[in-house]
Amino acid sequence: MSFDLVIAYSPMVLVAATAVTAMLGIAWRREHTVTVAVSVLGLILALIAQVVAWGVIPVGTALLDFDGLALLAGLLILASTLACAILSHRYLEAFQGAREEFYVLLLCAAVGGLALAASRHLAGLFIGLELLSMPLYGMLAYAFNQERSLEAGIKYLILSAAASAFLLFGMALLYAQTGEMQLSLLMASLNEGLGLWGLAGIGLMIVGLGFKLSVVPFHLWTPDVYEGGPGPATTFLATASKVAVFALLLRMMLSAPLAQADWLPALLTVLALASMLVGNLLALTQSNLKRILGYSSIAHFGYLMIVLVVAEGLAAETTGVYLVTYVLSTLAAFGVVILISGNTRGQDAAALYYYRGLFWRRPYLTAVLTVAMLSLAGIPATVGFIGKFYLIALGVEAQRWWLVGGLILGSAIGLYYYLRVTVTLYLVAPGASRRDAPDDWGMRAGGLVVVIVAGLVILLGVYPAPMIGLARILAF
């Protein structure tokens, strides 16, 4: 039993050890490439350990519970951290300040994500969440000599701290009402009698977690932070951080659904619908790719909240599939942005202007971005379609017609800006291009990563059986 626990903990331990190693390495001598190599190696080992841990689940301690959900979320978090680390290498080459600390922050945040996704206790939850958020402040403000990046970091810091305060207060109220901190016991005890404090506690926790997921109306920070943060930090925020928070929310809903409280699904339905519509509508007029992706992620988590409302039947499996599709598509899209931006100093090349006519200069890179956009829009033959298929199936099965309607309407609106981005890539380029990926992008590790991710988007879109198998095994 105890040895199983060691195996289950080993990915987290490995990533933490890598972070310490990287830090010590920096203290001894600054070598960018070596730091990247150490981080990548550690993350790969952790990924392997995560796969090995598959054999021993479910095991758990008082704070953490390693079940299928934690494992799947862990795989996604580690994979996206790995992608971020590799993409950062080229991106930070042109950076003037200290480059190596970025990886230490990245690894620490990954540990936080792993802990958060596995937590079953309010204390574990808070530790995980803070360990995830604290390094993100630093990562977002990493290019501190640029106003935008600094602004993004500080904005995220202040708002995130406020959200944490909400969360803590909610936890305290829940504890006062029930006297429990174990999530499942807490939810069970709430089922017996909610009470005024319980109600307020749940409300405050929804505010706190909704902020991290950027659910409308707690989404205001998203576009600015997405736009201002350096590419790799934003990528991590959009993928690993959101996956971890969502895994936690799902665990809370699945562990003991609040049976007699039908106001909760109603509230979540309203939040989901608002996110789908507001996210998509606000994206329509944007002309900055990173902002568009920010709004698009608001909409996507609106779609995914259908799972929280239904919380039975296909729900767990849908979460697994949808998170995989979301992470893959987002990684591909951000990967291209990072590759284009990384070659030069200054702000990220995220204005759509830079992408006009990209196809005629970089056909394969454009293909990657096209695939990512179509996948986010949910067109068949990309993995995004499978995710949408699952969500509609779930909504139809549970007969949540409002949510299905919102999903369809949201997708229709969303098409407009996804197509706008896509067609921009193929228009005639406006004279000389000022920002471009380096000529050898395909040979570099970062280029390889985006090509592999795009390949997976297509492959799993055409033949989704392995992904479904994974989601089915793990999401129980």
374 scored as a contact of other proteins (CB under 8 A): yes
Pick 129 or 323: Cβ nearer other proteins: 323
Span from 123-131, 143-151, 208-216, 389-397 in contact with other proteins (CB under 8 A): 389-397
Q: By CB under 8 A, is residue 381 in contact with other proteins?
A: yes
* CB nearer other proteins, residue 188 or residue 419: 419
For other proteins, the binding residue among 419, 452, 458, 459 (CB under 8 A) is 419
Give a three-class secondary structure readout of 45-88.
Answer: HHHHHHHHHCCCCCEECCCEEECHHHHHHHHHHHHHHHHHHHHH
How near is the Cβ of 177 to other proteins at its closest, in Å? 39
Task: Work out whether 62 is an interface residue with other proteins (CB under 8 A).
Answer: no
Rule CB under 8 A: is residue 204 a binding residue for other proteins? no
- Least CB distance from residue 172 to other proteins, whole Å? 43
How buried is 346 (Cβ within 10 angstroms: 0-12 exposed, 13-18 middle, 19+ buried)?
A: exposed
Can residue 54 be called a binding residue for other proteins (CB under 8 A)? Answer: no
> Which window, 138-146, 220-228, 235-243, 404-412, contacts other proteins (CB under 8 A)?
404-412
Q: How far is the CB of 324 from other proteins (least distance, A)?
A: 14
- Closest approach of other proteins to the CB of residue 408, in Å: 4
Among 160, 208, 464, 474, binds other proteins (CB under 8 A): 464
Q: Select the residue interacting with other proteins from 159, 161, 267, 409 (CB under 8 A).
A: 409
User: Which parts of 76-105 interact with other proteins (CB under 8 A)?
Assistant: none
Smallest distance, other proteins to C-beta of residue 397, A: 5
Whose Cβ is closer to other proteins: residue 205's or residue 276's?
Answer: 276
Smallest gap from Cβ 420 to other proteins, in A, equals 7
Is residue 284 within the footprint of other proteins (CB under 8 A)? Answer: no
When asked if residue 352 is in the footprint of other proteins (CB under 8 A), the reply is no
Q: Count CB neighbours of 345 within 10 A.
A: 11
**According to CB under 8 A, which one of 123, 423, 429, 445 is a site residue for other proteins?**
423
Name the nearest CA neighbour of 122 among 208, 189, 181.
181
Q: Which of 345, 341, 344, 342 is nearest to 355 (CA)?
A: 341
CA dihedral for 254, 258, 259, 264, sign (positive or negative): negative
3-state class percentages of the chain: helix first, strand second, coil last, to nearest 5 = 80, 0, 20
* Nearest residue to 303 via CA among 330, 273, 333: 273
**Spatial contact of 68 and 476, defined as CB atoms under 8 Å apart:** yes
- Check binding of 426 to other proteins (CB under 8 A): yes
Q: Are the CB atoms for 255 and 388 separated by under 8 Å?
A: no
User: Does 126 participate in binding other proteins (rule CB under 8 A)?
Assistant: no
Rounded Cα distance, 168 and 157, in Å: 16
Whose Cβ is closer to other proteins: residue 176's or residue 429's?
429
Q: Which of 188, 397, 452, 459 binds other proteins (CB under 8 A)?
A: 397
Closest CA to 404 of 414, 412, 396, 413: 396
φ, ψ for residue 351, nearest 5 deg: -65, 140
Q: In this structure, are residues 173 and 200 in contact, taking their beta carbons and an 8 Å threshold?
A: yes
Measured distance CA(410)–CA(302) in Å, rounded:
9
Both tokens assigned to 428: 């005639």
Could you give the CA distance from residue 33 to residue 40 in angstroms, rounded to a whole number?
A: 10
Asked if 472 is part of the footprint of other proteins (rule: CB under 8 A), the reply reads: yes
373 lies in the site for other proteins, by CB under 8 A = no
Verify binding: residue 385, other proteins, rule CB under 8 A: yes
Q: Is 277 in the site for other proteins (CB under 8 A)?
A: no
Instruction: Confirm or reject binding of residue 278 to other proteins (CB under 8 A).
Output: no
**DSSP-assigned letters across all residues of 176-239:** HHHS--BHHHHHHHHHH--HHHHHHHHHHHHHHHHHHHT-TTS-TTHHHHHHHS-HHHHHHIII
408 binds other proteins per the rule CB under 8 A: yes
Candidates 389, 438, 444, 458; binder of other proteins (CB under 8 A) is: 389
Cβ neighbours of 91 (radius 10 Å): 25
Whichever of 199 and 415 has its CB closer to other proteins, that residue is: 415
Candidate segments 22-30, 91-99, 105-113, 372-380, binder of other proteins by CB under 8 A = 372-380
Whichever of 7 and 471 has its CB closer to other proteins, that residue is 471
Q: Is 379 in the site for other proteins (CB under 8 A)?
A: yes
**251 vs 257: CA distance, rounded Å:** 10
Residue labelled with tokens 């921009």: 424
Which residues are near other proteins by CB under 8 A? 359-360, 374, 379-381, 385, 388-389, 392-393, 396-397, 404, 407-409, 411-412, 415-416, 419-420, 423, 426-427, 463-465, 468-469, 472
